[in-house]
Amino acid sequence: MNREELGIKNALEARKMSYAPYSEFHVGAYLETAEGNGYRGCNIENAAYGPSNCAERTAFFKAISEGKKDFSRITIVGGHGEDSLEFCPPCGICLQVMREFCNPKEFEIILARNEKDFRIYTLEDLLPQGFGPENLG
């Protein structure tokens, strides 16, 4: 299994845990550290809507809360149905969380529809000119 397949399989497994009764849009993510650890995340919605959390941030917060800060890539799958998923890019808030911890030129964001159909971006591709820690001087 190559690294894309590994990431996509894990993201699809993560998606099965999605709690999305309001949007019925289920998202799974798999975040990998430079040293080879992986963290799964799913979206978790709330009746009050505002407290809802995206799959990507769930994965990031799991990893960071366990002391990890050196990330290499995240794989994301999302959609309504089971059969034909569409590419699901991270929302602006999730991109900003990534910007806090990841090198924009090196961190990879892999969007997948299935194990064979995926696209690889860098964080800089999806968040050019982003505001990061270094901007605070």
Q: Which of 20, 59, 77, 95 binds ligand THU (CB under 6 A)?
A: 20
Backbone angles phi, psi at 50, to 5 degrees: -55, -40
The answer to the question of residue 12 lying near ligand THU (CB under 6 A) is no
d(CA 15, CA 118): 16
Scanning 5-13, 21-29, 60-68, 124-132 for contacts with ligand THU by CB under 6 A, the matching segment is 21-29
Q: Which of 11, 12, 14, 27 binds ligand THU (CB under 6 A)?
A: 27
Residue 35's CB is within 10 A of a number of other CB atoms, namely 8
Q: Which of 75, 76, 77, 79 is nearest to 25 (CA)?
A: 79
Residues engaged in binding ligand THU (CB under 6 A): 20, 23, 25, 27, 43, 45, 52, 54-56, 76, 78, 88, 90-91
